[in-house]
Amino acid sequence: MKKVGYTWLREKLGIWGYGLTHESYIGATNKTEIGSTDAIIQTFKSKYDVPGENPLGHLEFALKYDDLNLAFIKAVFDAVGHQAVQEYVSANPNGKYSRIIGYLYEFTTGESLEANVTTSNYQDLLDPLRYITGDVAKIPRWKIRDNLLGNTNFCPIIRRTTELVGSLDWEIEAALENLQEEYSPEIFKRAAYYLFKKESKSSSEIERENPSQDRLDRFISLLESAGQSSLEESLSEHELIRLQNTIVDPRYADKEFRNYQNYIGQTLRDYSQKIHYVCPPPEMVRPLMQGLAGLSRKNQATGAVIKAAIVSFGFVFIHPFEDGNGRIHRFLIHDILVRDGIVPNGTILPVSAQILANMDKYDKCLEAFSGVIARKVKYELNEKGELRVKNPLETEALYKFPDLTAQTVFLARAIQETIGKDLPEELLFLQCYDELKGEIQRIVDMPDKKVDKMILFLHQNKGKLALRKRKFFEELDDSEVSGMELAYQNTFTRARENSLNRRNVS
């Protein structure tokens, strides 16, 4: 088979290490396969072949049929040079792909071309059927509708894969409205109190930390204040420093975005480091964070789940602080869901609990990006554990133009599981708790603390009072205890059946 598009450019120009998600070839028949790295391998008949050896002809093919990879495209531009791009664009100035190539050259390199476009027809940069798109900005000199999600400092790409479309088709607002119809406002209010605590605790457990109650309470306070300012304000250096200072030990509070190189690693038995992720070099941090904050200007109409994914994962991959990046990453998810009205103010979706329950999948979605960096970055690590990136110019575009498809799929599924399972289970438990409390007090009019302890012990042992816990209720006879156990079974079983029936009907 003959290489074409990105695969041809990769070999002919020596552009390696970019993790292509779609590879194209010319062969005898049209066919599509899944490669060993999960990339789509597509074969086209000879009529699709690119004549000649012009790299920009293969780039045009790639823009038609391969997945958009801005970092790879910038590497192509760097390899062929300014003059070659100018000549290609000038040869057909009104052509659809000439205009797209001209605009992408300026977008990715920051250098200007001569644009002699006379057509009045504007062209979408991204095909909305293939990509998640942002708000449109018209570019008159190229007659391009820029519907990218970001800007020249930070621009993620999200492909409309089958997995992603399936996850996004689920209606979050409708599912939450159904729960609000099923349970009383009082139950929701009490559930929120517990879920804020659960989110704070789970977020710390993800970091393998055991913070003091004071630090947990401070994180809860942050979660409760989410969504109160604009996205751009939330992502400002001043506000993010305030968040970081609130949730970390005061000794590790930062006064500004980092001006040193950091990395995520693991200390081995010989005290050497296994590097999992090399963060952007310090000179890239502020421009990247400015680009992240500027995403709000291109995403007024973007769905909340998409926005939460690109902002939260964008933040954690930039890693602008020494400590607290992970917890802020998860706070930003909640912040956006509240601001966009997906989650009612005063409650929370315990997404961190879902992350904690699926750490293997979470790690895999992080590695989908960190693995791309690992293939390209070159660094040296001294005896003090200090790291220096040796090829920052070769890696810059990878940090600026990440493909966040895998991360968006993960977050969409985590939110769906949270609303479909975790939140209903907590609401159901509280509803059953109230009913069971009344049933127990009808059997024996015990003090509230005694009733609460009985329900706790029954719940811990699937509705049976464990023998070792019987000593806490010596004043009760066996028939009374049996009656309470039966009340537990009846209450929770009936409530689960009723809840399941209501959801099946809806």
262-278 pLDDT, tens per residue?
A: 999 877 666 567 899 99
DSSP string, 116-155: -------EESS-TTTB-----EEETTTTEEE--SS-SS--
- Cα dist from 331 to 67, 251, 287, 325, whole Å: 31, 21, 22, 10
**163-418: what fold?**
Fic-like fold (1.10.3290)
- Helix, strand, coil tally for the chain in percent (to 5): 60, 10, 35
The per-residue pLDDT for 388 is 95
Express each pLDDT in 415-464 by its tens digit: 999 888 888 888 888 888 889 999 999 999 999 999 999 999 998 998 99
What are the backbone angles phi and psi of residue 277, rounded to the nearest 5°?
A: -155, 130
Cα angle 306, 172, 149 (rounded to 5 degrees) comes to 15
Is the pLDDT confidence value at 8 over 90?
yes
The per-residue pLDDT for 501 is 55
Average pLDDT of the residues in 246-265: 92
Please, which pLDDT band fits residue 505 given cuts at 50, 70 and 90? very low
Per the DSSP assignment, residues forming a β-bridge with 144 are 123, 139
Sign of the CA dihedral running 171, 173, 176, 180: negative
Is the pLDDT confidence value at 359 over 70?
yes
Whole-angstrom Cα distance, residue 266 to residue 21?
29
Please, which pLDDT band fits residue 307 given cuts at 50, 70 and 90? very high
Per the DSSP assignment, residues forming a β-bridge with 263 are 278
What are the backbone angles phi and psi of residue 273, rounded to the nearest 5°?
A: -110, 130
Closest listed residue to residue 77, CA positions, set 43, 102, 53, 52: 102
User: Residue 145 contacts by C-beta under 8 Å, 6 or more apart in sequence?
Assistant: 122, 123, 124, 125, 136, 137, 138, 139
- Cα dist from 246 to 20, 193, 228, whole Å: 40, 20, 17
The per-residue pLDDT for 57 is 96
The per-residue pLDDT for 81 is 97
Average pLDDT of the residues in 309-315: 97
Whole-angstrom Cα distance, residue 151 to residue 110?
11
Whole-angstrom Cα distance, residue 277 to residue 282?
15
Please, which pLDDT band fits residue 54 given cuts at 50, 70 and 90? very high
Whole-angstrom Cα distance, residue 320 to residue 240?
9
Q: Higher pLDDT residue, 221 or 413?
A: 413
Is the pLDDT confidence value at 121 over 80?
yes
Q: Where are the domains of the chain?
A: 2-158, 163-418, 444-505
Whole-angstrom Cα distance, residue 259 to residue 423?
41
Q: Higher pLDDT residue, 226 or 8?
A: 8
Average pLDDT of the residues in 281-296: 96
CB-based contact 263:279 (threshold 8 Å): yes
Whole-angstrom Cα distance, residue 353 to residue 199?
7
Across the chain, mean pLDDT equals 91
Rg (CA), the chain: 27
Percent of the chain topping pLDDT 90? 65
What are the backbone angles phi and psi of residue 110, rounded to the nearest 5°?
A: 80, 5
Q: Where are the alpha helices (DSSP H) in 184-277?
A: 185-206, 213-224, 231-234, 237-247
The per-residue pLDDT for 204 is 77
Instruction: Copy the structure tokens of residue 158.
Output: 């999200």
411 by Cβ neighbours in 10 Å (0-12 / 13-18 / 19+) ranks as: buried
Read off the pTM.
Answer: 0.90
